[in-house]
Structure formats: structure tokens, C-alpha cells
Amino acid sequence: MREEARHERQRETHRALYERFAAGTGLPIEQPSEPELTGTGHYRQSLAAAEDSWQEPADQEAPDGGGTDTRFLPAQAAAASDAPAFAGHEDAAQEHYPHEADAAQQAAVLSSDPHDDQTAQAAAGKAQRRKRTKRKRNLVMLATALIFALVVAGSVYFVKSVLKQFNPDDYPGPGGAAVEFTVEDGWGLKIISRKLEELDVVSSDGLFTDAVADSEAQSKLIHPGTYLLKKQMPAADAADILVNQRPDKVFYIGLKANMRLDAAIKEIAKGSGLAEKDLQELAKKPQQFGLPASVPSLEGWLHPGEYRFPLNADAEEVLGELVKATKASLEQAGITDLEEGYRTLKVASILQAEARTPDYATVAGAIENRLDPGNRETHGLLQVDSSVIYGLDRYSLQFSAQEKQDASNKYNTYVHTGLPPTPLGSPANSAIEAAAHPESNGYYYWVTVNIETGETKFASTYAEHRQNQAEFRAWCNQNPGVC
């Protein structure tokens, strides 16, 4: 407000000066004091206002008709008719009022008012500080959000870990290695459940206790005796075996993978007390177990595993349960047609005898390549030793050159094309799965070059295969008595 008042007084002074010059009085007005320099903007406004008021030409007559007194006007004003009158008056102001002219000149020279510069700099600094403060605030908020998220995630993980200790997940089943579990006289449910957890039969004693409580058995008693269980069983499966079962009224059978039919019959007879002769006769009648007419015996159909049967179970019940397990394995691999299933069992039995589990699918692909009668490497011959020795009723892979050419051996795959007449034993689930889904590859040959590690190398040509065989022989020479 004070700045505006000062500017207004300056404009009035200029108007009074002009009126006296125009009237020709020749009486100079009192010399104004030197104005404060507060910025060129104020002086430019003052000069612009004065210019607006000094628009009359220098030679215009006075309003009363008298001549204009030009004693105090510059001489150049009358010469330039088209120039603004303010130019002459500006010179006059400089001549008669040097202090005011010097002040205006000083204001014109200044590029900006220091006060305005300081104000602008303060405003810019304030904006920068606000920007930095906002950036810091955003970073703090982001860091806080990240820390909060980490704390929440860690808390959830910790809570889950704690809860899992008190309520662990149940094992999915069906279980692993066989475990003989003996219940002693006087053991209650708490002791039995704790022992089962210690043996890793169940994941938690609490889960087993709950499974016993949820059992549909009329009696929830667990009788003393020895039971055949598995490592990492579902708690409900363990409860079904233990609850209200008397172990002295059952017998157990355990069959290994790729066990031949004769060996399996002897093992069943040993565990069950059933007559081996009766089992042999029944094994020659596969159609009684729902198998196709093309199946000559139960070779390959007695699924490996551990089984428990009542003491009064007969031979047909026992063999029927083993065949049922093989059918279930085929269905699990996606095969429901039993004719196709029989072919799958043949391939799977060769995998079980010739390869390691990680190589099953690759060897299965090579077998399928060999079975193609149009292939130029084996022309439909499998050429597998495991089949030859099966026909010779041996377990050793060694046989003579003459036996290798013996066409009377129906299982001699060096002479007869296609698959052998029957499986070579009872394959496990992994071999059945690989035989049902062989790997597509270009291999025809495979050989184990290191018996200790089981390393197997594959080849697409016989020349490559011979190099792999040489590697195997070199390993045998370095490890005498192993091959």
C-alpha cells in the first residue's frame, strides 16, 4: 500500500510540473526528494503513467488561447512533430531535476530489483524444499509399506510353522518301505500313536489318534501283536490296519519287483502256508482272473508289494488280489484294455531287467524303435540279453555264441523279432508307467558303462554302440570280479 501511495504522489508531481511548463509561468516547483529504488518495475509503471499524461505536442496552445511559454521546453520538441511529447519532457526532467533523472536512470540500468530477486529465490528454494520433503515422505512411506509387508509375510510364515508343528500335514500315501510294528501288552492309544510317529509311520500322533476316533470299526481296540505297516502312511490307513485286527489271524506276503512267476509262487506258499502245487496249477488258468485268452499264465500279473491276508484265505483269493493290483497299476498309467496292458507288461519287464529307473522312459523309446520292422539297425529284433536268459531259465547274463543263435529258445530276441511270448517277471509301477508312455527318441542301443553308478549310454548307430561297449569293457578291466 505504501508503495502505491508513493507512486501516486510521483505521478501527481509530474502532472503539476507539466501544467506549469504549459502555462509558461517559469516558476520551478520545489525539487522532489530522490525516490527509493525498490525495483525497475515500479519506475517503469511511473514512467508509463507519465507518458500517458504527456500526450499533447509541445507547440499546442494553452487552453486560454495564449501562446505557450517554451522557455523551459527542449528545442527538439518542436522539430519532431511525430515524436511523443514525453521525449522532450524526459530531457527537461533530466535538466531541471537531476536527482530524479539519475534515480530513474539508475532504476532503468538495474536488471531486477534485489528484493524481488530475493523473493524469487526464496520462493524457488521453498519449492525445492517442498519437493525434497515430498520425495522423502514418499520414500519413507514406501519403506514403511515394504517393512510392513515383510513383517506380515514373516509373521504368516512363522504362524504357519508353529501351527504345522502342532498340526502337521498328513502323509499322502500310499507309503514307502515296509515296517514291522509290534504292539506290546498294556500299550494304550497314546503310547501306540507316539511310537508310530517315532517310526515315521504317521506324520503325527495326533493325526493317528483322530483317525482311530473317526474309524468306522465297531471296536476301537488295538490288539497286541506284530503288524506290517509302511513308512509315511496316511494316518487313516494305519488306523484301518491296527484297529480291531488280530495279527495272529493274518499272514503276510512280500514280492520283489521283476520276480519271475515260479519264484513268486514259492514266496506266496512260504508266507501263506498254501500248497505250492495248487498255486502253480491256478497260475496256469489266467482266465479265471478275468485276463484275455491270449494270456497263457499269470507271469507278469502278480504285482510286487507287501500284502496281508486272513489266515483262511485260499489260493484264488491270494492270486486274485495280486492280479487286481496289477490291473490297478495299468489303469493308473492310462491303460484299461487288457490286451494292450499285456504288451505293456512285456516291455515293462524288460525295462525292469535292463535299465535303471531314471532311464526307463529312454530305454522304452529305444525298444519301440527296435520293434519297428522297417528300422535299418536291428530290423525288428530286440536283441536283449534278459529275454534270452529267461528262456534259458537262468539269472546270469552270460551265454554262449551257440545259445545266442538257438532258435528253439522262443525268448531268444536275437533270432525272433518282436516282443517275447510273455513278460520276464512282474514289473513295478514305475516301469509300467514308462512302458505306457515311452520317450520319443532316435536311439537303438544302450549299454551300462559303469555297474557301480549305473551310468548308461545310448547310441543311434552300431558304430557308436561299439565305442560304448569298449568303454564298458575298459571299466570291467579296471574293476576285476565285478563284471
Three-class SS of the chain: CHHHHHHHHHHHHHHHHHHHHHHCCCCCCCCCCCCCCCCHHHHHHHHHHHHHHCCCCCCCCCCCCCCCCCCCCCCHHHHCCCCCHHHHHHHHHHHHCHHHHHHHHHHHHCCCCHHHHHHHHHHHHHHHHHHHHHHHHHHHHHHHHHHHHHHHHHHHHHHHHHHHHHCCCCCCCCCCCEEEEEECCCCCHHHHHHHHHHCCCCCCHHHHHHHHHHCCCCCCCCCCEEEEEECCCCHHHHHHHHCCCCHHHEEEEEECCCECHHHHHHHHHHHHCCCHHHHHHHHCCHHHHCCCCCCCCCCCCCCCEEEEEECCCCHHHHHHHHHHHHHHHHHHCCCCCHHHHHHHHHHHHHHHHHCCHHHHHHHHHHHHHHHCCCCCCCCCCCCCHHHHHHHCCCCCCCCCHHHHCCCCCCCCCCCCCCCCCCCCCECCHHHHHHHHCCCCCCCCEEEEEECCCCEEEEECCHHHHHHHHHHHHHHHHHCCCCC
pLDDT value of residue 225: 85
Stronger pLDDT, 290 or 216, i.e. the higher one: 290
Stronger pLDDT, 63 or 238, i.e. the higher one: 238
pLDDT value of residue 45: 53
pLDDT over 60 at 211, yes or no: yes
pLDDT over 80 at 388, yes or no: yes
pLDDT tens-place string over residues 93-140: 344 444 444 444 444 444 445 555 667 677 777 777 787 888 888 888
Name the average pLDDT for the chain.
80
Mean pLDDT value across residues 154-175: 67
Mean pLDDT value across residues 241-248: 78
pLDDT value of residue 409: 96
For the chain, give the percent of residues with pLDDT over 70: 75
Stronger pLDDT, 152 or 309, i.e. the higher one: 309
pLDDT tens-place string over residues 418-429: 999 999 999 999
